[in-house]
Structure formats: structure tokens, C-alpha cells
Amino acid sequence: MSARKNLQKGLIAILASCFLIVLDQLTKYFAVLNLKGQNPYVIIPEVFQLRYLENRGSAFGMMQNKQLFLLIVTVIFLALLIWFFFKLPDTKKFRPLEVILVFVLAGAIGNMIDRIRLEYVIDFFYFELIDFPIFNVADIYITVSGITFFILFLFYYKEEDFNMVFGSRAKKR
């Protein structure tokens, strides 16, 4: 891919990521303003509510108070995502994967901002009906992207598509 195309692709990804990160941070800001220190705001009784939580761990509250470790893992993960993003061929076939990577990147950065700034992540969506762990917009980006990637991996992308990305080493495996 030409340097100009790479730059264009990168700028679009940065702008999209920035928009998604701002959206995530705004929702967390409003959660602090309206939910912190308050009783949960019930949207659908016994099903869904907005409930403020300061999550000092990772997904689903695991690894509590391991902020430095989580930051290091996030930085490594972000570097791998960016590398993979630019490794993708510039074809229509890989656009869905590019979009997924932008959402995952934005979600990871959104939660990393909280960890750096606050030493915890602000969560506020709670499905009481299934007692699902409290989560936020960045978590939605990551989770929906992960599910979408899995579906694409199963039904859309073929082995030869990944051979295009990773070259001949993937063919030998």
C-alpha cells in the first residue's frame, strides 16, 4: 500500500477513534454527574438500570487493583492492534475488519484514559435480569467488535484471506 493511502487510512481511523473515545468519555462524565452517590436509575424494573460503579479491575471486575499491569497489557495490545490494522490489505474485503479494529482501539483507549486519570474505570450499565456485570460504552465497543470478528472469522473470511495478511508463514502452518 502506498504511503499516501496508508496515511489516509490512518487519519480516518484516528478521527473515527477520537469520535468514539469522546462519546465514551462523555457518557462516563454524565454517569458521574447523574449517578455517582445516587440510587440506581431504573429504566426497566428488574431488567435494566443505570448504576454507578468504579471498577478497579479489568473486564467483569477481574484483576482488582492491578492498574499498572492492566496499563502495560493495554499498551502492548494497542500496539498489536495498530500493527495489524496497517498490515491489512487495502481491499473492500477487509473493511469490516478495519472498522472492528477502530472500535476495539477506541474502547481500549477509553478505558485506559479512566485508568490513567482516575485509577479505575467508570461503569454504569447494569442488566439486573441476568445479573450481568456492570459495563460502559467502551466495553460495548470491545464486546460487540469481538462478537462480530468471531462471526466474520467463522463465515466470511477464509484461510487464504489471512494468508494475504500474514504472508507465507501462515500458509505453512
Q: Is 98 helix (H, G, I), strand (E, B) or coil?
A: helix
In order, the DSSP letters of 27-42 are HHHHHHHHHTTS--EE
For residue 28, pLDDT over 90 is answered with yes
| 121 within 8 A of 170, measured Cβ to Cβ | no
Question: Is 139 annotated in the active site?
Answer: yes
Residue with cell 493511502: 5
Domain count for the chain: 1
Q: Can you give the pLDDT at residue 46? A: 95
Residue with cell 465514551: 24
pLDDT in tens, 45-102: 999 999 999 998 776 666 666 778 888 889 999 999 999 999 898 889 999 999 999 9
Write out the residue range of the structural domain in which residue 116 sits: 3-172
> Of 24, 90, 114, 123, which one is the catalytic site residue?
123
Predicted TM-score (pTM) of the model is 0.87
Q: Please give the Cα distance from 26 to 57 (Å, whole number).
A: 21
Report strand pairing: 121-127 vs 41-44: unpaired
> Of 24, 90, 131, 139, which one is the catalytic site residue?
139
Task: Please name the amino acid found at residue 163.
Answer: N
